[in-house]
Protein backbone atom coordinates (compact mmCIF):
# COMPACT_ATOMS: atom_id res chain seq x y z
CA UNK A 1 0.00 0.00 0.00
CA UNK A 2 1.39 3.38 -0.92
CA UNK A 3 0.78 6.58 0.94
CA UNK A 4 0.41 9.96 -0.65
CA UNK A 5 1.33 13.26 0.94
CA UNK A 6 -1.36 15.84 0.39
CA UNK A 7 -0.58 19.52 0.26
CA UNK A 8 -2.55 21.91 2.51
CA UNK A 9 -4.28 23.22 -0.63
CA UNK A 10 -5.76 19.80 -1.34
CA UNK A 11 -6.75 19.01 2.23
CA UNK A 12 -8.19 22.28 3.45
CA UNK A 13 -8.74 24.23 0.23
CA UNK A 14 -6.42 26.86 1.65
CA UNK A 15 -3.03 28.11 0.62
CA UNK A 16 0.20 27.36 2.46
CA UNK A 17 2.25 30.30 3.70
CA UNK A 18 5.10 29.42 1.37
CA UNK A 19 2.92 29.43 -1.74
CA UNK A 20 1.19 32.63 -0.57
CA UNK A 21 4.56 34.34 -0.09
CA UNK A 22 5.81 33.14 -3.49
CA UNK A 23 2.64 34.50 -5.11
CA UNK A 24 3.09 37.86 -3.35
CA UNK A 25 6.71 38.13 -4.56
CA UNK A 26 5.57 37.24 -8.12
CA UNK A 27 2.96 40.01 -8.02
CA UNK A 28 5.53 42.53 -6.76
CA UNK A 29 7.92 41.51 -9.56
CA UNK A 30 5.07 41.95 -12.05
CA UNK A 31 4.89 45.62 -11.10
CA UNK A 32 2.09 45.84 -8.55
CA UNK A 33 2.70 48.27 -5.69
CA UNK A 34 3.19 47.08 -2.13
CA UNK A 35 -0.03 48.83 -1.09
CA UNK A 36 -2.05 47.15 -3.84
CA UNK A 37 -0.72 43.69 -2.98
CA UNK A 38 -1.28 44.32 0.74
CA UNK A 39 -4.91 45.39 0.28
CA UNK A 40 -5.66 42.54 -2.13
CA UNK A 41 -4.24 39.93 0.26
CA UNK A 42 -5.66 41.61 3.38
CA UNK A 43 -2.20 42.07 4.87
CA UNK A 44 -0.41 45.10 6.23
CA UNK A 45 2.38 46.76 4.25
CA UNK A 46 4.75 45.85 7.09
CA UNK A 47 3.89 42.16 6.59
CA UNK A 48 4.73 42.49 2.89
CA UNK A 49 8.12 44.01 3.79
CA UNK A 50 8.71 41.16 6.28
CA UNK A 51 8.00 38.64 3.49
CA UNK A 52 10.52 40.44 1.26
CA UNK A 53 13.11 40.34 4.07
CA UNK A 54 12.50 36.63 4.59
CA UNK A 55 12.69 35.87 0.86
CA UNK A 56 15.83 37.90 0.14
CA UNK A 57 18.34 37.03 2.86
CA UNK A 58 21.23 38.66 0.99
CA UNK A 59 21.26 42.42 1.63
CA UNK A 60 22.47 43.28 -1.88
CA UNK A 61 19.72 41.23 -3.58
CA UNK A 62 17.13 42.70 -1.23
CA UNK A 63 18.29 46.26 -1.95
CA UNK A 64 18.08 45.66 -5.71
CA UNK A 65 14.59 44.20 -5.35
CA UNK A 66 13.42 47.09 -3.14
CA UNK A 67 14.77 49.61 -5.67
CA UNK A 68 12.87 47.88 -8.47
CA UNK A 69 9.55 48.09 -6.59
CA UNK A 70 6.92 50.61 -7.52
CA UNK A 71 6.73 53.19 -4.76
CA UNK A 72 3.69 53.36 -2.46
Minimal CA–CA distance to 53: which of 33, 27, 24, 32? 24
Over the stretch 50-71, which tens digit does the pLDDT of each residue have? 999 999 999 999 999 988 887 6
Work out the mean pLDDT of the chain and round it to a whole number: 87
CA atoms within 13 A on the CB side of 27: 18
Q: Residue 3 domain-assigned? A: no
Q: Residue 45 domain-assigned? A: yes
Q: Residue 62 domain-assigned? A: yes
Q: Residue 1 domain-assigned? A: no
Domain holding 43, by residue range, is 8-68
pLDDT at 6: 76
Question: Number of folded domains in the chain?
Answer: 1
pLDDT at residue 3 is higher than 90: no
pLDDT at residue 7 is higher than 60: yes
Q: How many CB atoms lie under 10 A from the CB of residue 71? A: 6
Amino acid sequence: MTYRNYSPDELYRTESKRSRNERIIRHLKAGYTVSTVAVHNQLSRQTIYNIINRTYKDAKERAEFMDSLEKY
